[in-house]
């Protein structure tokens, strides 16, 4: 079991923005149940800003903490700003992750980008 930073443990023990948005404007889903990690990111967009964001995650403590961290990073950002949130941003905001757990934070950023993609596709349609 890797050693987690206090920030990771805080987000794992007290996840922010956990849940589902039934009227989401965009949903991003990544991961693979056979690997054990799956993330859903729901976004609600108002005036080009991420007005609300929620997550649902099946995965380790790092996966849950990165989902929670990501929602804090993305909330209130414009779509353009949110697109720039990178895989590294999530991990560094948590004070780092054990190397073996880096892929969990990759998932969180990826899920957000997919949610934005979904939102933009829906807008086009």
Partner 1 sequence: MSTSRIYLDNAATTKVDPNVLAEMLPYFSDKYGNASSPHSAGSEAREALEESRARVAALIGASPEEVIFTSGGTESDNLAIFGAAMKKGKGHIITSCIEHPAVLNSCEYLEKNGFQVTYAPADSDGIVKLDALERSIRPGTFLISVMQANNEIGSIQPIREISNLAKAKGILVHTDAVQSAGKIGIDVNSLGVDMLSMSSHKIHGPKGVGALFVKKGVQILPISRGGGHEKGLRSGTENVSGIVGFGAAARLAKESMGEMERVKKMRDRLMGGLLKVEDTLLNGSRTQRLPNNLNISFKFIEGEGLLLLLDAEGICVSTGSACSSKSLKPSHVLLAIGRSPEDAHGSLRLTLSKFNSDGEMGKVLDSVPRAVERLRSMSPFKSDSQMKQFSDKHATHEDDEHAGIH
**Pairwise CA distance, residues 30 & 80, whole Å:** 21
> Does 33 contact partner 1 by CB under 8 A?
yes
Catalytic residue among 13, 14, 35, 117: 35
Among 39, 63, 91, 109, binds ligand FES (CB under 6 A): 63
Q: Which residues of 11-45 are buried (b: 16+ CB within 10 A; e: fewer)?
A: bbeebbbeeebeebbbbbebbeeeeebbbbbbbbb
CB under 6 A: which stretch of 5-13, 41-49, 55-63, 113-121 binds ligand FES? 55-63
Whose Cβ is closer to partner 1: residue 60's or residue 79's? Answer: 60
Residue 60 designated active-site: no
Whether 24 contacts 43, CB under 8 Å? yes
Site residues, ligand FES (CB under 6 A): 36-37, 59-60, 62-63, 101, 104
């Amino acid at each position: 079991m890797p050693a987690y930073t206090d920030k990771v443990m805080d987000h794992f023990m007290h996840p922010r923005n956990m849940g589902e948005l039934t009227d989401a404007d965009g949903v991003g889903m990544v991961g693979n149940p056979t690997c054990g990690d799956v993330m859903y990111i729901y976004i609600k967009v108002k005036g080009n800003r991420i007005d609300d964001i929620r997550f649902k995650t099946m995965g380790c403590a790092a996966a849950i903490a990165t989902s929670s961290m990501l929602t804090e990073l993305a909330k209130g950002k414009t779509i353009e700003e949110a697109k720039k949130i990178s895989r590294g941003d999530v991990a560094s905001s948590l004070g780092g992750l054990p190397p073996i757990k880096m892929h969990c934070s990759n998932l969180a950023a990826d899920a957000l980008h997919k949610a934005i993609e979904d939102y933009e596709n829906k807008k086009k349609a």
